[in-house]
Each structure stands twice: as structure tokens, then as C-alpha cells.
């Protein structure tokens, strides 16, 4: 089904079965597969491939040579009917690749709203991404990675499969993220070392100085305390029950995960 207001260049292919919303623009030399849904006001500039069982949300713009909804790059994928869902108002720059999920990983890859994916960044199968995230050029997310709201990953950084990157975290360029990065954390290097709190990002988000100071104090108590990181985190929970950002960190640490935690000292904990 193609909305009457959609504009599809005659040199593009939109296969039967695709759903094309209102005011969609499909530029020249694009290919839209039969199980694709393009929401209202989506724009494919040129030489864009949208394949698989993929849904693209309203107002998302996709730049040349991006391949969205390709099969997962997994030896365990046997052609199962899995999905990719991309939210609204995303900007997907040149050469970006996003894969559908795998049957063994839940069957879906999910991307939220208002994200910016710079050239040649890669989102592998079964990743779950939130909102207002920035992946800089050549960022690589392995399978089953979770990236929370407003995280920023610098150019050329790579995230190990099953790792989590918390909200408002900052990962420096060329960093290797082998272990979970706490919310508001700042990680750099290879192997990645947790260097402290992303104060600049927190300030830019509108967080007041008093709250930032409490987060920094909690960080020290968690990672410099005498007990283990998880025990230190549990011990301060009551003291910071009224501080939402600290509770984000404590809940993140307490949650089940397939990866260890990045730390300031050994790289993991």
C-alpha cells in the first residue's frame, strides 16, 4: 500500500507488499523490500536499501548507501522471520547498517527516537537502543548490546556483545567497551577504563550542580569503598533514595547482566 502523497522516484524499486506512509520521499536508486513499513514523512535520499521485516518511524531520514534491515550477521541465523523496528525522527547517515534480530536473541532489534547515527556505524542483531543517542562515525555495536537514552559513543569505538551502555554515558573515540558502562559514566581507552562521571554531558542536559556533586560523591563511594562494587552500591542506596541519577546507577549495577562492570582501576569489576 502506497499513500497518494508519497513521492517515489521512477528509478527506485518498491516491492509489492511494502507499506509507504503519507509524504514519504524515496529518492533514486533505492530498494524497499516487500515486508517494509515506512512511516509518514520518512525520506530515503538515494541508494538506500531497506530490507527484511523492518519498520521505520515517522520523520526518519536515511542517507546514501545505508542498508537497513539486512539479515543478522550470525552463524546461528537460519532465515527465521525476525524484525527491526526504528523509531521516529532518527537521522541515519551514509553507509549505516542495521540488522534484524535472531530467533535465539528474542527475534528483534529495536531503535528508539531522535537518534543520530553517523556514517558507517553498525547496529547488529538483537540490539536495543533508547532515545537521543549519538553513534559517531564507524561505531560498532555487536549483537545483543543495550544502549540507554542520551548515551554518546565516539568515533571508531566498539562494544562487545551483550554489553550495556547506561544513560548519559560517554564513550571516547577508538575505545573498546568490553564491559558494562554505568549511567553517567565516562569510559576511554583499549581496554576501556571508567574515568569518572560525564559532568559535561550532565550539565548540558540541564542537571543542576548540587545533583552533579551528589553523583560524583556516590561514584567515589561505589568505586573507592572497601567492599566490592556491588556491595558498596547496595550500602548507599538508602542515602541516595531521593537522587534520581544515583538511583539510575545503583539500579544498573544491581541488574542482571552477561558482562562485568567497567571500573576505574582494572577495566572490569
Query: What class has domain 7-144?
Result: mainly beta
Mean pLDDT score, 236-254: 98
- Coil, strand, or helix at residue 248? helix
Q: Which of 105, 143, 192, 267 is catalytic?
A: 143
Active-site residue flag, 251: no
Distance CA 116, CA 105 (A): 25
Distance CA 85, CA 128 (A): 10
pLDDT higher than 90, residue 266: no
pLDDT for 173 equals 98
Burial class (CB in 10 A: 0-12, 13-18, 19+), 143: buried
Confidence tier at 265 by pLDDT (50, 70, 90): confident
pTM score over 0.75: yes
pLDDT digits (tens, 9 = 90+) for 116-156: 999 999 999 999 999 999 999 999 999 999 999 999 999 99
264: nearest Cα among 214, 224, 216: 224
Task: Please answer whether residues 72 and 41 qualify as being in contact, where contact means their C-beta atoms are separated by less than 8 angstroms.
Answer: no
Residue spans per domain, the chain: 7-144, 203-254
Active-site residue flag, 9: no
pLDDT higher than 60, residue 268: no
pLDDT for 45 equals 98
| Count of positions (residues) in the chain | 269
* Mean pLDDT value across the chain: 97
Distance CA 253, CA 268 (A): 13
Q: Which of 47, 77, 125, 248 is catalytic?
A: 125
Active-site residue flag, 113: no
pLDDT higher than 60, residue 90: yes
Q: Which of 47, 52, 126, 172 is catalytic?
A: 126
pLDDT higher than 80, residue 228: yes
Amino acid at each position: 500500500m502506497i499513500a497518494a502523497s508519497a513521492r517515489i522516484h521512477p528509478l527506485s524499486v518498491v516491492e509489492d507488499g511494502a507499506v509507504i506512509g503519507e509524504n514519504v520521499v524515496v529518492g533514486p536508486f533505492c530498494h524497499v523490500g516487500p515486508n517494509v513499513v515506512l512511516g509518514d514523512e520518512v525520506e530515503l535520499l538515494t541508494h538506500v536499501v531497506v530490507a527484511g521485516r523492518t519498520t521505520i518511524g515517522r520523520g526518519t531520514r536515511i542517507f546514501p548507501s545505508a542498508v537497513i534491515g539486512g539479515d543478522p550477521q550470525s552463524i546461528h541465523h537460519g532465515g527465521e522471520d525476525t524484525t527491526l523496528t526504528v523509531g521516529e525522527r532518527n537521522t541515519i547517515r551514509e553507509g549505516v547498517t542495521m540488522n534484524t534480530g535472531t530467533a535465539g536473541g528474542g527475534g528483534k532489534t529495536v531503535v528508539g527516537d531522535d537518534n543520530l547515527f553517523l556514517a558507517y556505524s553498525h547496529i547488529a542483531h538483537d540490539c536495543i537502543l533508547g532515545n537521543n543517542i549519538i553513534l559517531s562515525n564507524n561505531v560498532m555495536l555487536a549483537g545483543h548490546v543495550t544502549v540507554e537514552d542520551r548515551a554518546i559513543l565516539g568515533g571508531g569505538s566498539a562494544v562487545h556483545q551483550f554489553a550495556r551502555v547506561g544513560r548519559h554515558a560517554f564513550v571516547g573515540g577508538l575505545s573498546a567497551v568490553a564491559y558494562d558502562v554505568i549511567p553517567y559514566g565516562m569510559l576511554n581507552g583499549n581496554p576501556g577504563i571508567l574515568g569518572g562521571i560525564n559532568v559535561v554531558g550532565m550539565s548540558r542536559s540541564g542537571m543542576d550542580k548540587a545533583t552533579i556533586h551528589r553523583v560524583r560523591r556516590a561514584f567515589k563511594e561505589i568505586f573507592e569503598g572497601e567492599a566490592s562494587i556491588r556491595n558498596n552500591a547496595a550500602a548507599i542506596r538508602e542515602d541516595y533514595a531521593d537522587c534520581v541519577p544515583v538511583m539510575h546507577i545503583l539500579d544498573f549495577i544491581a541488574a542482571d547482566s552477561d558482562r562485568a562492570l567497567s571500573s576505574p582501576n582494572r577495566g572490569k569489576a
